Amino acid sequence: MTQQNNQQAQRKAAMAVLAHAEAGEIAARLRAFALPAHQDLRTPENGLVMLRGRVGGDGAPFNLGEATVSRAAVRLASGEVGFGYTLGRDGEKARLIALCDALVQSRDFSASVERDVIAPLREQLTIRRKQAAAETAATKVDFYTMVRGEG
Amino acid sequence: MYVAVKGGERAIENAHRLLANARRGDQSVPEVTLDQISEQLGLAVDRVMSEGSLYDRELAALAIKQARGDLIEAIFLVRAFRATLPRFGASEPVDTGAMRVQRRVSSTFKDIPGGQILGPTFDYTHRLLDPSLADGFVPEAPATAESSTAPTPRVTDILGRDGLIESSPQAEDGASVGDLTREPLNFPADRDLRLQNLARGDEGFLLAMGYSTQRGYGRNHPFAGEIRFGEVEVEFSAEDVGFAVPLGSIELTECQMVNQFKGSATEAPCFTRGYGLAFGQSERKTMSMALVDRALRARELGEEALAPAQDEEFVMSHSDNVQATGFVEHLKLPHYVDFQSELGLLRKLRQEFAEANAPDAMKEAAE
């Protein structure tokens, strides 16, 4: 059970990185990868997910509006089934995420896909986010109190 | 004579050809690309996504281009498009408290944990036209500063800890979330449906309604407790996967309005609240939405509901600009038969009037 939870956490962490990457970036990382035989279990399909918010930010859920989502599923010859879901309509990206998800679950490829694909993409994402955070931080207000009667 | 009309196919076809040319404009001027619209007219894209009720920047940009910049027409196109795709399900509710904040201001507290962050804003600009933008403007790189990893809790959560503000209503166990794209609207409508309606409602309409409450038509004494804009992660519980799958992130603006307090013999007085949430950077929209959300709670809070902004049937039935434009603009479609019957009736009435008011001599002569 713990092992299953660990794998689930690992899959989710990988998906969280992959969903933020471009299809081209994932494909480029996979090109240097000795891919095992695999096939589409579900060819990419576009659809909608209703996005929900909460009343007051922390209350009962409500429907905010929809988003386009693409999804796919890939099966390795060794049997692992991977799923790919991503915002947007890029079916190829969904397929690549599904392939990575299958690799993450595979005993033979889990370590190498993390090292060669997920980790570098995570680093890129972290750099992008740090840069954005630094630009945002520069717009933080420093208040100072003016003493009455002066000036 | 007025007779039923058929035909005009050729004229329609040619009108659409002419439209395509008018849309393109002078062909010696480079064509605008979807990336250009998405990157450089980002707030128009945000508005089309919000009111089109579909988060997809590229589609919104295409709609704006196709609609020649007519945002309501673009919203109409996006709404029509969403009807062509299957729905996979609903996301987990997003956590705005965990937002990667790009802007966050409070008009109620100067020193909020995480600080006041201005972000990319028109506020404090002088609203003078800038001729340097007309051609080839290259902005200076953004300034940077060390970012803190301190959390930026919602201001309403801070007030909530001391019980100074009402807590958000929680869902009852097993309660379903109302969806006005699936079920016809009935009144009275619950807060989930009202917020969905306002979230896709016309910004101009909500602005006017919100403004009317400030001018005294349903006054509720608002403070902008907090406005925040940034990225939130979206997760979707996919049945086939078996856990909540990360889908990526979206940009949202949230407004927490803090309003006049209320108490009773059994409850200590506390501030009440109104809520606004929309796709993208949509500050005016979410502020207006929060004002109107609070006004629409009049009944629930035992206030006299006399003003238009407090009348949910009025607000919710008129907030949607696709419905509104459909009904207003249908007036320009052929009504020849309707009009002919009115014309017939009017002629008859006028004849009766003329006979009734004719000089007596003429009447006698006629007899």
Å from A96 to nearest chain B CA?
Answer: 14
A64 closest CA partner among B50, B58, B8: B50
Residue A148 has pLDDT above 80, yes or no: no
The residue among A7, A64, A122, A145 with the most chain B CBs within 10 A of its CB, best to mutate, is A64
Q: Residue B102's closest chain A neighbor by CA? A: A136
Name the band, by pLDDT with cuts 50, 70 and 90, for residue B95. very high
CB distance A138–B191 less than 8 Å? no
Q: Say whether residue B177 is in contact with chain A using an 8 A CB cutoff.
A: yes
pLDDT given at position B5: 58
pLDDT bin (cut points 50, 70, 90) of residue B364 is: low
Which of the two residues, B334 and B255, has the higher pLDDT score?
A: B255
Å between B230 CA and nearest CA of chain A:
10
- Closest to B168 (Cβ–Cβ): which among A47, A56, A139? A56
Q: Which residue has the higher pLDDT, B195 or B4?
A: B195
CA–CA separation, B70 vs B63, rounded Å?
A: 9
**Residue B265: predicted pLDDT:** 80
Chain A CB within 8 Å of residue B282 CB = no
Residues of A in contact with B156 (CB under 8 A): 56-57
User: Does A67 sit within 8 Å of B234, measured CB to CB?
Assistant: yes
Provide the pLDDT for residue B367: 59
Average pLDDT over residues A86-94: 98
Q: What is the mean pLDDT of chain A?
A: 94
* Domain definitions of chain A by residue range: 2-118
Task: Look at B154 and A57 and tell me if their CB atoms are within 8 Å.
Answer: yes
For B:300-359, CB contacts with A below 8 A are none
Q: What is the pLDDT of residues B108-121, one digit of tens each?
A: 888 888 889 999 99
Average pLDDT, integer, range B247-268: 90
pTM of the model: 0.93
Residue B362: predicted pLDDT: 61
Q: What is the ipTM of this complex?
A: 0.94
- Higher pLDDT residue, A150 or A25? A25
AA identity, residue B202: D
Task: Flag whether residue A138 sits within 8 Å of chain B, measured between CB atoms.
Answer: yes
Which pLDDT tens digit goes with each residue over B45-62?
999 999 999 999 999 999
Give me the mean pLDDT over the B27-32 stretch.
97
The 3-class secondary structure across chain B, one letter per residue, is: CCCCCCCCHHHHHHHHHHHHHHHHCCCCCCCCCHHHHHHHCHHHHHHHHHHHCEECHHHHHHHHHHCCCCHHHHHHHHHHHHCCCCEEEECCCCCHHHCEEEEEECCCCCCCCCCCECCCCCCCCCCCCCHHHHCCCCCCCCCCCCCCCCCCCCHHHHHHHCCCECCCCCCCCCCCCCCCCCCCCCCCCCHHHHHHHHHCCCHHHHHHHHHHHHCCCCCCCCEEEEEEEEEEEEEEEECCCCEEEEEEEEEEEEEEEEEEEECCCCCCCEEEEEEEEEECCCHHHHHHHHHHHHHCCCCCCCCCCCCHHHCHHHHHHHCCHHHHHHHHHHHHCCCHHHHHHHHHHHHHHHHHHHHHCCCHHHHHHHC
Distance from CA of A10 to the nearest CA of B (A): 12
pLDDT at residue B1, rounded to an integer: 44
B335 compared with B252, residue with greater pLDDT: B252
Looking at every residue in chain B, the average pLDDT score rounds to 93
As a whole number, mean pLDDT of residues B234-255 equals 96
Lowest mean pLDDT among A32-36, A71-75, A84-88, A136-140: A32-36
Classify the C-alpha dihedral B319-B321-B322-B324 as positive or negative.
positive
Average pLDDT for A20-49: 95
